[in-house]
A = this chain, B = another copy of it.
Amino acid sequence: MSFLDLLIGKPLATSDESGERVGPAAGIPIFGLDALSSAAYGPEAALTLLIALGALGVAYIVPISTAIIILLTIVYFSYRQTIDAYPGGGGSYTVARENIGEGAGLLAAAALMIDYVLTAAVGISAGVGALVSAVPSLLPHTLALCLGILVLITLVNLRGVRETGGVFMIPTYLFVGTLLITILIGLFRALAAHGHPMPVVAPPAIPAATAMVGAWLVLKAFASGCTALTGVEAVSNGVRAFREPTSENAKKTLTVIIGLLIILLAGIAWLVKAYQIAATDPGAAGYQSVLSMLVAAVAGKGVFYFVTIGSILLVLALSANTAFADLPRLCRIIALDGYLPRSMSNRGRRLVYTEGIYVLAVLTGGLLILFGGVTDRLIPLYAVGAFLAFTLSQLGMVFHWKRVRGPHSGRYMFINGLGAFVTGITVLVVLVAKFLEGAWITVLLIPALLLLMYAVHRHYRYVSERVADSTPLDLRHFRPALVVVPIERWSVIAKKAITFALSISPEVIGLHVNCEWTEQLKKEWQEYVEKPVQEVGLAAPRLVILDSPYRYVSSPIVDYVLGLAKDDPTREIAVLIPELVEKHWYYYFLHNQRAAVMKTLLYVKGNQRIAVVNVPWYIE
C-alpha cells in the first residue's frame, strides 16, 4: 500500500474529520474557482459566435455582457436566500426534492451531474487553451495536455479537501489580481487615449464580416456567454463546509465571488471593444484566446503577460476542482436516497467519496477525448444543465416560502420567483439556440440519467423487499449437507479436502473424471479413505467416476452436482473445491484453472442450496 500512500496520502480515520471547515478567505478559492474562472471562457464563447459579424460583432459584446450581468445579479440575490434557508447545504437536488418533489429533485440532480462533468471538461480545456495561446507550439498537444491535467486534478482530489484548499488559494488570488490590474491599466490607457488606445501588442486584424446582424446570431452569442454564470451555485451547496457562523460566512463569500465576477465580465467586455479584439477560430492553427490577446494588447508580452496567462491556466484547470468536490458529494446524497449505487456513498481512505471521483474523472476524460479538448465544441452542451438546476432550485425556494410563511416571505418569494423565471427563460434560449450544436446531447442525457436513477431505486426496493426478514431461525428440518469433493489424484491436497469434508458432514462423495489415474485412484480410495473412515465407525464415502467424451473436466462435475440438487430438492449440497495457492501470482499460469472454472459455473448455474467451499492449500 506504500505506493498508494505516497500518491494519495495515508488513510484518515473518521475521527480526523473535524477541522476540514473553512472561512471566507479559503472559501473564495474553493467555492469560487468555477464561477470566477467562467470569466475566462464566457465572454470568449460569445465573441467566437460574433466572429462572423466582423468589426460590428466586437461592439455587440457590450450589450450581451450587460444582459449576462443583470442575469447574474438576479441569481445572486436568489441564492443568498437559499443559503439563509438551508444552512445545512442547499444544493438544487435537496431544495427541489424537498419543496417540489422527488421527480423535480432527480431532474435537478441529473442536470447538475451533467453540468459538473462539463465544468471539469471545459475548465481543463479552456486552461489548456490559455496555455497554447502563450506557447503556440503546444497547440498539436492540446488533448494530451488536457488529459495530463485531468490526472493531476484527480490525484489531488483523491487526497482530500483540506489540501486542495491550500493548493487553490494562490492561483485564484493571482488570477483575480492580474486580471484586475489588466482591467485598471487598460481602462486608464483607454481613457487617456479618449477611448482609442494603442495596443502594446496588436491583436490579429478583425476578419471581414461574413454574416448580417440578426436576432438569431445575437441570441446564440448570448446563450454561449451564459456559460459565464456556471458555478455560482457552489457556495449554496457547500454551506456546511464553512466555519461558524456558517450562513454569514457563506453569504460573505458569495457576495465577494459575484462582485468580482461582475467586475471581470464588465471590464473584459469594455476593453475588448476599446482594443477591438475579435475572437480567433478555436481548434485551428493561429488560435489565441481572447484574454491572451487582451493582456498582450494592454500590457505587452512581458513577465506580467506570462504571469497572467499562467494564473489563468492554473485557475481554469483547477476550476474543475469544484466539480471534483461537488459531484461526489451530490452522488453520495443521491446514493443514500437509493437512486445511485450505494457504493458511491462510501468514503475512501482519505475521507473523500472515492467512487464519485473516479466516475467524474472517467467521464471528463471521455468528453475531452470525444471533443479533442477544444472548449468551443464543449460550450453548446454546457449551460443547459446548469441553468436547469438553477431554475429548479429557485422554483423550489418559491415553494419553500409558500410553505414556511414568515414576515418577509412575500418578498423572498418574489426574488426567488424572478430568479426562477429569468433562468428558466435562459434554459429555453440556450436550448433553442444551441440545440443542433450539441445541446441535444444534454437533452438526451438528462432523461437517460433520470431513467437510470429510477431503475436503480426500483431494483434496490425489489431486492430489499425480497431479502427482508423478521423471523427466527427454523431448525426443525435440520440435517447436515451432502458434501461433494472433486478429486483428480491422491495428494496431500485431496487428503486435506476429504478430511475437511468429513468434518462438515458424515455424507461425502468423491467425484472423479475418468483419466489415466482412475485405476490407481480407485485403489487409493479404498485404502486411504474407505478403510480409515470405517475404522472410526463412519459410513465410507463413495467415489463416483464420471465419463467425459469432450475432454472437459469441470462441466461433468458441475452437471453431476446440479443433478444431485434436482434429485433431492430439499438437500443442501456443499461442493468442496481444493485449490493450490502459490506464493507468486505468475505461477497461476502453470496450473489449470479448473477450480476457478468450476466456481464460476456453479455460481452461474447453481441455486440457493449449492454452497461452494474453497479449501486452499498453500505452497510455501
Contact assessment for A503 and B572 in the assembled complex, using a CB-CB cutoff below 8 Å: yes
Question: Which one of B470, B504, B536, B619 contacts A504 once the chains associate, using CB atoms below 8 Å?
Answer: B504
Q: Which residues of B contact A535 (CB under 8 A)?
A: 475
Contact residues of A between 494 and 545, Cβ < 8 Å to B: 494-496, 498-500, 502-505, 524, 527-529, 531-533, 535-536
B-contact 0/1 string along A468-495, CB 8 Å cutoff: 1111111100111100000000111111
Q: Which residues of B contact A603 (CB under 8 A)?
A: 581, 614, 616
Residue ID in chain B nearest A456 by CB atoms? B590
Instruction: Please measure, in the bound complex, the distance between the C-alpha atom of A590 and the C-alpha atom of B453, giving whole angstroms.
Output: 11
Q: Which residues of B contact A503 (CB under 8 A)?
A: 478-481, 505, 572
Instruction: Please measure, in the bound complex, the distance between the C-alpha atom of A253 and the C-alpha atom of B502, giving whole angstroms.
Output: 61
Instruction: Please measure, in the bound complex, the distance between the C-alpha atom of A74 and the C-alpha atom of B613, giving whole angstroms.
Output: 62
Question: Whole-angstrom distance from the CB of A138 to the nearest CB of chain B?
Answer: 30
Instruction: Please measure, in the bound complex, the distance between the C-alpha atom of A541 and the C-alpha atom of B612, giving whole angstroms.
Output: 22
Contact assessment for A472 and B532 in the assembled complex, using a CB-CB cutoff below 8 Å: yes
Contact assessment for A608 and B481 in the assembled complex, using a CB-CB cutoff below 8 Å: no
Contact assessment for A473 and B498 in the assembled complex, using a CB-CB cutoff below 8 Å: yes
Q: Does A347 contact B (CB under 8 A)?
A: yes
Contacts A490-B470, A503-B572, A549-B13 given; indicate if A608 touches B496 (C-beta within 8 A): yes
Q: Which residues of B contact A472 (CB under 8 A)?
A: 527-529, 531-532
Contact residues of A between 454 and 472, Cβ < 8 Å to B: 456, 459-460, 462-463, 466-472
How many A residues are at the interface, by size bracket?
35 or more
Q: Does A243 contact B (CB under 8 A)?
A: no
Contact assessment for A574 and B613 in the assembled complex, using a CB-CB cutoff below 8 Å: yes
Instruction: Please measure, in the bound complex, the distance between the C-alpha atom of A472 and the C-alpha atom of B533, giving whole angstroms.
Output: 10
Instruction: Please measure, in the bound complex, the distance between the C-alpha atom of A589 and the C-alpha atom of B459, giving whole angstroms.
Output: 12
Contact assessment for A467 and B580 in the assembled complex, using a CB-CB cutoff below 8 Å: yes
Contact residues of A between 7 and 36, Cβ < 8 Å to B: 11-15
Instruction: Please measure, in the bound complex, the distance between the C-alpha atom of A460 and the C-alpha atom of B474, giving whole angstroms.
Output: 49
Q: Does A73 contact B (CB under 8 A)?
A: no
Residue ID in chain B nearest A550 by CB atoms? B11
Question: Which one of B11, B533, B593 contacts A475 once the chains associate, using CB atoms below 8 Å?
Answer: B533
B-contact 0/1 string along A573-601, CB 8 Å cutoff: 01000001100000101111100000100
Residue ID in chain B nearest A460 by CB atoms? B590
Q: Does A610 contact B (CB under 8 A)?
A: yes
Instruction: Please measure, in the bound complex, the distance between the C-alpha atom of A276 and the C-alpha atom of B206, giving whole angstroms.
Output: 65
Residue ID in chain B nearest A528 by CB atoms? B472
Q: Which residues of B contact A349 (CB under 8 A)?
A: 550
Instruction: Please measure, in the bound complex, the distance between the C-alpha atom of A603 and the C-alpha atom of B583, giving whole angstroms.
Output: 11
Instruction: Please measure, in the bound complex, the distance between the C-alpha atom of A9 and the C-alpha atom of B481, giving whole angstroms.
Output: 40
Contact assessment for A502 and B475 in the assembled complex, using a CB-CB cutoff below 8 Å: yes
Question: Whole-angstrom distance from the CB of A439 to the nearest CB of chain B?
Answer: 29
Contact assessment for A13 and B342 in the assembled complex, using a CB-CB cutoff below 8 Å: no
Contact assessment for B504 and A478 in the assembled complex, using a CB-CB cutoff below 8 Å: no
B-contact 0/1 string along A230-274, CB 8 Å cutoff: 000000000000000000000000000000000000000000000
Number of copies: 2
Instruction: Please measure, in the bound complex, the distance between the C-alpha atom of A101 and the C-alpha atom of B589, giving whole angstroms.
Output: 27
How would you classify the secondary structure of chain A's contact residues: helix, strand, loop or mixed?
mixed
Question: Whole-angstrom distance from the CB of A581 to the nearest CB of chain B?
Answer: 7
Contacts A14-B549, A481-B504 given; indicate if A469 touches B456 (C-beta within 8 A): no
Q: Does A618 contact B (CB under 8 A)?
A: yes
Q: Which residues of B contact A528 (CB under 8 A)?
A: 470-473
Q: Which residues of B contact A527 (CB under 8 A)?
A: 472
Q: Which residues of B contact A589 (CB under 8 A)?
A: 341, 343
Contacts A11-B550, A456-B590, A496-B608 given; indicate if A467 touches B617 (C-beta within 8 A): yes
Question: Which one of B460, B478, B529 contacts A473 once the chains associate, using CB atoms below 8 Å?
Answer: B529
Contacts A475-B532, A607-B618, A608-B617 given; indicate if A500 touches B456 (C-beta within 8 A): no
Residue ID in chain B nearest A493 by CB atoms? B467
Q: Which residues of B contact A572 (CB under 8 A)?
A: 500, 503
Contact assessment for B613 and A612 in the assembled complex, using a CB-CB cutoff below 8 Å: yes
Q: Does A164 contact B (CB under 8 A)?
A: no
Question: Whole-angstrom distance from the CB of A321 to the nearest CB of chain B?
Answer: 24
| A–B complex contacts, Cβ < 8 Å, 9 sampled | A12-B550, A343-B589, A343-B592, A347-B551, A472-B527, A478-B499, A496-B608, A581-B603, A608-B618
**A positions within 8 Å CB-CB of B:** 11-15, 341-343, 346-347, 349, 456, 459-460, 462-463, 466-475, 478-481, 490-496, 498-500, 502-505, 524, 527-529, 531-533, 535-536, 549-551, 572, 574, 580-581, 587, 589-593, 599, 603, 606-608, 610-619
9 tightest CB-CB pairs across the interface, nearest first? A472-B528, A13-B549, A467-B491, A469-B492, A612-B614, A473-B532, A472-B532, A613-B613, A611-B615
